[in-house]
Structure 1
């Protein structure tokens, strides 16, 4: 089971919006040195919505190749069309990803039965471990615990990323799935509580900026070391909040660039972090000791 601090990796870009593969390599080495437990390539934070299919697959392949088996790589391959999600998932498997992360279909607002059939079709089409991703704040689609429980019966659907911040769902989903089904949070601010309740880790945005601290905090929480986890999380709380002061990944890309790990590149319709909000992110970075 993949567990721990799983960083939803930003996709570095040049100022004209081209993917910056040299900076991507440097970021990967930074995360491995800092103790990150796994990486998600081309998830929400990796700007999956603005990369075309060729770029999407090229970034996944580059991450897999650079990691070279040292930690697991999870490829973001979700789409709001089942056929497209199957195509991306097949390509991720071909380039050697360890698992895939599949967001609920966005915009078209399927029923719970539609969600079940969508994920069932992808799982049956591609023999790779698959993690469901529920983030209704972005997709306008909430996959209910009962639907997750149905999908957990499919062998290669191995877990779910729950980005609702509704902690009562941890117990609900666990009761409906069993101990071998991985539960990951997608909400940094409540990741400590989520892991204390039995979650297997966090697919984290904050981990882009403070990977060592996030790893230590998640490990302590998973071990039930509440006091230690709380002491570490106190240093991170400012980042948990500031990195969402504008739409993700706007603040986190600014922060990673401020650390000198990549340039100032992002794609429209996303824009660079406004000057008015930069000071708040910088204060949070100082609190966490990363600048």
Structure 2
């Protein structure tokens, strides 16, 4: 499966294969997303390179899709990154959902796909072995997150001009049928889809009961995602409080030590009576105090940055 990537490679690979404006765009977008900056501030971006980006769909259903916007895409990517799920190990909650989807909807492939910069990453994958991602430019889910429909249904990809020449249709896994329900967060961002795939066409599409099942599975996946993030937020808050208390317990006595060292260094009579060994001890105590303060500051800054990512 040349177009299917195994393992978690991350979006850095996409930066390496990009060129010209595309490389500039990918790097800039990563910086905006990473620092949680204001997506409306795109003054750094130059030219109309958005027209050549793999997230921009050139061949899509404009009538039934939301307009494509760089600003909205950056907001969506920031929301996606806030869940801290990309490139993680497979989790049994999501694995159970795709197994259930495959069984009750009777399809060989069921995926929970997150649409990231330059790729779609599979949070769970039933039926594609150990494949974890595919290029975003080939992702059916890129169309699904723009669709105004509750579920994007492709009855036969070979008969759809958007997908007929897609490498995932003409080559492994030879997609013919696709149905994807967006993973929509409480804030309204579509992070990806819960989708089902078959290697044969479904001329009749999905019946009402199957549509409802797929929508409920998608909603369940979002609930697990949200609960997962809230748990991490609580853990982070608990650890932040522990760090604050520990830092206080360490720094309070250090303040007294530093004051005493300062006064002793100012006392010339005392200094003359000290041996070199004692001077070295005083210097080492001062150095240790500085190191501990630096460690505490770094740890507090790290937790503050982590909290801002949610």
Give the TM-score normalised by the residue count of structure 2: 0.24
TM superposition score normalised by structure 1: 0.25
The answer to which structure, 1 or 2, has the higher relative contact order (CA under 8 A, 6+ apart) is: 1
Larger Rg: 2
